[in-house]
Amino acid sequence: MMASSVLFKNATVVTMDEAVGVLEHCDVLIEGNIIKCVGCSLERPSAETVVIDGTNSILSPGFVDTHRHVWQQQLRTIAGDFTIFEYGANIRNKFGSCYTSHDVYLAELCGALESIDAGTTCLLDHSHIMNSPAHSNAAVAGLRASGIRGVFCYGAYPNPVFANPAVSDGSAEHRTDDWRREDAKRVREEHFASNGPDSLLRFGYAPTEMERTPLEQTIEEIRFGQSIGSALITGHVAMGPLDRGIHLVRSLDDQSLLDSRMLLSHGASLTPAELTALANSGASVSSTPSTELQMGMGLPVAFKAESHGCTASIGADITSNNPADMFDQMRLLLQCQRYVDAGDVPPCPQTLNRRCAQVLRMATVGGSKGMGLEALTGTITPGKRADMILTRCDSLRMTPVHDPVIALVMYAHSSDITHVLVDGAVLKSEGELQLPYLQRDGKEASLPKLLKDLRTSAEGILERSKLVAEAERAKSVREYFKHSGT
């Protein structure tokens, strides 16, 4: 629902604007997609203005998820007990080969809708499911149909396409070795003619696994991504025990390839010098606490990165392993770092150096800055875009609230979010997802129907996966990790 103006009344506004802070009994007026005014006792501009009662509620910036593989929506719960090796063998090197383009469309649409439902208004989609040009088109269409803000990062990773042609529709692997490069250029030109910060969805690039390919290839792929006007370049780096010791970030700095368009994920084993190089260049890092802690990728780097002046943000990573819920990720990150700081031996800490406000800032301001959107999103500030969430404080879990920041980080759940606005459009209202972009396209816009289609899609993927020989995918994952010393 796009209203000409929206007025939130009497909310506790966690602005995340350092100059303003938290405002009690505050109103926020939105005109079109712009935050017009923040203050007390604002007048309703017209009878057409939608008024939303913020009493006993917290209004805050929407979350910015800076590392997601949105295509894995049909694989929910499969990777919950996986190691990184089992993840590679099964999710990346088996199921990823079995997606049709329609599967990709549903995954991207439903994955983005899940994010919106949980308060994420902007995400970076590291989309390594480009099995054919049809898959690329479907991924972009699915994200667009959700109405979310974000960057679609075209993934160069080649999902193994096994011999049986029933495993993947429209595969282009047989065409040329570099077909994805040509396809990325096509997608950029056809779907992202405008690719500036004002665009709701932008194009980015994700090179083939940066630390599993020769350095020369990684450098060349980054330069290619830059040459076609990618808004962001992203990739997995320095994954703790999996680190090959090549110090990729140092090499990229030596090649003058680090800049504000680069947002790297994981990074547990980045050295202080590399973090300083990222900070000096304007590049940033994204921590994904759930997968990093489970899959042996090392201690989340976010707090360490910030201590070296580097912008840190948070991502949910994979819904095959955990929900796309930034509340969960904030809590994991904060409590994990508090434990590491305290250690296992006495004395107990007398004060906590890691505060709830820090992780909330990473999940909002840090994400917007990492994605080059700090001038548009991340805070509730007049003149910025209206990307925000309203969280009710009228449940047993959320009553009473003495500190709204701590309430958001330590207590809130996605079910507490009643309203979500992206670029001024109300995409969740009174606790129910709205589907304005689907309705505008004249398609059947029913959440029950989408969920039914998603289940059918998942059944097809799992059925086709039976055609993938165990020996083939085991060989494939051995190749992937062959340089890691494991």
**Where does CATH 3.20.20.140 sit in the chain?**
63-371
**Do the beta carbons of residue 41 and residue 421 sit within 8 Å?**
no
Measure the CA–CA gap between 27 and 435, rounded to whole angstroms: 26
Question: CATH says 5-61+379-433 is which class?
Answer: mainly beta
Q: For 108, which DSSP code?
A: H
- 381 vs 421: CA distance, rounded Å: 15
pTM: predicted TM-score of the whole model, two decimal places: 0.95
Residue-level pLDDT at 486? 42
Q: For residue 400, is the peptide bond before it cis, meaning its omega torsion is within 30 degrees of 0?
A: yes
- Measured CA to CA in angstroms, residue 311 lies from 275, 284, 306, 308, 374 at distances of 10, 5, 6, 9, 12
299-319 confidence digits (pLDDT tens): 999 999 999 999 999 999 999
- The CATH number of the domain covering residues in 63-371: 3.20.20.140
Give the per-residue pLDDT at 93.
Answer: 85
Identify whether the C-beta of residue 152 lies closer than 8 Å to the C-beta of residue 141: no
Buried b (16+ CB within 10 A) or exposed e, 295-325: bbbbbbbbbbbbebebbbbbbbbbbbbbbbb
Average pLDDT, rounded, for the chain: 92
- Beta-bridged to residue 177, according to DSSP, are none
Pairing outcome for strands 417-422 and 388-392 = antiparallel
Q: Which regions of the chain carry the CATH code 2.30.40.10?
A: 5-61+379-433
pLDDT digits (tens, 9 = 90+) for 397-419: 999 999 999 999 999 999 999 99
Tally of CA atoms within 13 A in the half-sphere of 81 that contains its CB: 0
The pLDDT value given to residue 352: 92
What digits encode the pLDDT tens for the residues 74-121?
A: 999 999 999 999 999 999 889 998 999 999 999 999 999 999 999 999
